[in-house]
């Protein structure tokens, strides 16, 4: 283990890790012995610090999402073998678009409800005011719940997978492979707002090691599929999609979208490889618009995710590659163009 020394070169777009170049088992400048657990903790802290302001966790889901988008984009710009991170920058940006749309719906329905309240007045018959505003209130609550759950899933995927990329970036494949089992020992405090019975922190899934081994061997497209499987099925399915309330919200959204519900209170299910929310033509992969399609069902969702991964791979390899890179650079600067 002592021979596992970090690469001597650092990535210009990332500040070197606090233990950069120190062999595992050696004494750090602070006088502590550098263990694999301590090294993992340093990368976990780096991820958490990106989601804090002045040491405090960012409470605004949209601002936290913007920072996650930026971090994923920077990973890909630093090492374009991290193609999953490039896809994740777009997917996380799409979550940001959903959060923005939900906020607009909630605000619009609240204003409608307040206008109805004012027009009916306090002298109306019992129940009239309540009945007239129920639709607006229900939509507000559904929009807020969906946004909160999207933000929760977005955050925990980031807390799981960003430190993995940073460890590999700093220490290389051999150290990553040797040290990965130590990450789940949880001998240090982490921010993990998930029931450990539902999903333990740093649970040992085979896709994690396999995905980075594929990166190491140059099988980039395979690595994207493997890491997408981990993100979607090992994490999001357990902490978000399996929840009955989330399934109900997604089914309602799907039906409203499929039938072009007149109020427009729905979010199109798509992934756009662009920094913009209304994306240019040719950059968008769309989920099935069948009225009873189930986004929460992994067997229906994963073909949509894999199709987006294939589209990104094709665009990067073609003449549109420069445009895709420009979009990722915009995201890395914090852009979310509505």
- Enumerate residues 6+ apart whose C-beta is below 8 A from 313: 83, 220, 221, 224
Predicted local distance difference test score (pLDDT) of residue 137 = 42
User: Is the four-CA dihedral 12, 14, 20, 24 of positive or negative sign?
Assistant: negative
Helix, strand, or coil (residue 2): coil
Other C-beta atoms lying within 10 Å of the C-beta of residue 233: 18
- The model's pTM: 0.87
**What is the total residue count of the chain?**
338
Identify the residue whose tokens are 């040491």.
55
Domain boundaries, the chain: 36-332
**Which pair of structure tokens corresponds to residue 123?**
């002298």
Of residues 100, 43, 87, the one with CA closest to residue 277 = 100
* Dist. CA 230–CA 199, nearest whole Å: 13
Identify the residue whose tokens are 């263990």.
35
Predicted local distance difference test score (pLDDT) of residue 133 = 44
**Which pair of structure tokens corresponds to residue 240?**
């978000």
- Enumerate residues 6+ apart whose C-beta is below 8 A from 334: 66, 67, 69, 70
* Dist. CA 49–CA 166, nearest whole Å: 14
Predicted local distance difference test score (pLDDT) of residue 136 = 46
* Dist. CA 101–CA 338, nearest whole Å: 9
* Dist. CA 276–CA 6, nearest whole Å: 38
Predicted local distance difference test score (pLDDT) of residue 186 = 63
Residue 282 near residue 270 (C-beta atoms within 8 A): no
Residue spans of alpha helices (H) in 51-127: 61-78, 83-120
Greatest alpha-carbon span in the chain: 80
Q: Please give the chain's pLDDT, 338 residues, in tens.
A: 445 655 555 566 788 899 999 999 999 888 899 999 999 999 999 999 999 999 999 988 889 999 999 999 999 999 999 999 999 999 999 888 877 655 555 555 555 555 555 665 555 545 444 444 444 444 545 557 788 888 999 999 999 999 999 999 999 999 999 999 999 876 777 899 999 899 999 998 999 999 999 999 999 999 999 999 999 999 999 999 999 999 998 998 898 889 887 555 678 889 999 888 777 777 899 999 999 999 999 999 999 999 999 999 999 999 999 999 999 999 998 865 44
Helix, strand, or coil (residue 262): coil
Helix, strand, or coil (residue 24): coil
Predicted local distance difference test score (pLDDT) of residue 266 = 76
Residue 158 near residue 239 (C-beta atoms within 8 A): no
**Which pair of structure tokens corresponds to residue 16?**
């070197």
Residue 153 near residue 231 (C-beta atoms within 8 A): no
User: Counting beta carbons within 10 angstroms of the beta carbon of residue 66, is it exposed (0 to 12), middle (13 to 18) or buried (19 or more)?
Assistant: buried
């Amino acid at each position: 283990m002592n021979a596992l020394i970090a690469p001597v070169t650092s990535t210009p777009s990332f500040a070197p890790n606090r233990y950069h170049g120190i062999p595992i088992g050696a004494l750090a400048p602070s006088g502590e012995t550098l263990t694999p657990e301590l090294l993992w903790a340093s990368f976990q802290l780096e991820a958490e610090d990106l989601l804090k302001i002045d040491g405090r966790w960012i409470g605004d889901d949209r601002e936290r999402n913007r920072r996650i988008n930026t971090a994923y984009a920077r990973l890909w710009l630093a090492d374009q073998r991290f193609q999953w991170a490039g896809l994740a920058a777009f997917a996380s940006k799409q979550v940001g678009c959903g959060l923005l749309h939900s906020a607009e719906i909630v605000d619009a329905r609240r204003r409608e409800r307040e206008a109805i309240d004012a027009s009916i007045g306090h002298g109306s018959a019992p129940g009239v005011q309540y009945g007239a505003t129920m639709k607006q209130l229900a939509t507000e609550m559904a929009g807020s719940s969906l946004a909160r759950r999207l933000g929760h899933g977005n955050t925990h995927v980031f807390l799981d997978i960003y430190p993995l990329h940073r460890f590999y970036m700093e220490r290389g494949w051999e150290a990553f492979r040797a040290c990965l089992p130590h990450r789940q020992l949880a001998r240090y405090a982490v921010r993990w707002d998930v029931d450990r019975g539902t999903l333990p922190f740093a649970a040992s899934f085979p896709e994690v090691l396999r995905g980075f081994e594929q990166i190491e061997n140059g099988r980039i497209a395979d690595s994207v599929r493997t890491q997408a499987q981990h993100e979607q099925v090992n994490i999001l399915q357990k902490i978000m999609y399996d929840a009955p309330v989330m399934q109900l919200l997604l089914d309602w959204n799907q039906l409203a979208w499929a039938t072009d519900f007149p109020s427009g209170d729905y979010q199109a299910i798509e992934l756009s490889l662009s920094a913009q929310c209304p994306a240019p033509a040719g950059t968008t992969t769309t989920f099935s618009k069948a009225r009873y399609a189930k986004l929460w069902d992994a067997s229906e969702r994963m073909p949509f995710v894999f199709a987006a991964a294939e589209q990104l791979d094709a665009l990067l390899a073609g003449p549109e590659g420069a445009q895709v890179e420009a979009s990722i650079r915009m995201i890395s600067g914090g852009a979310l163009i509505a």
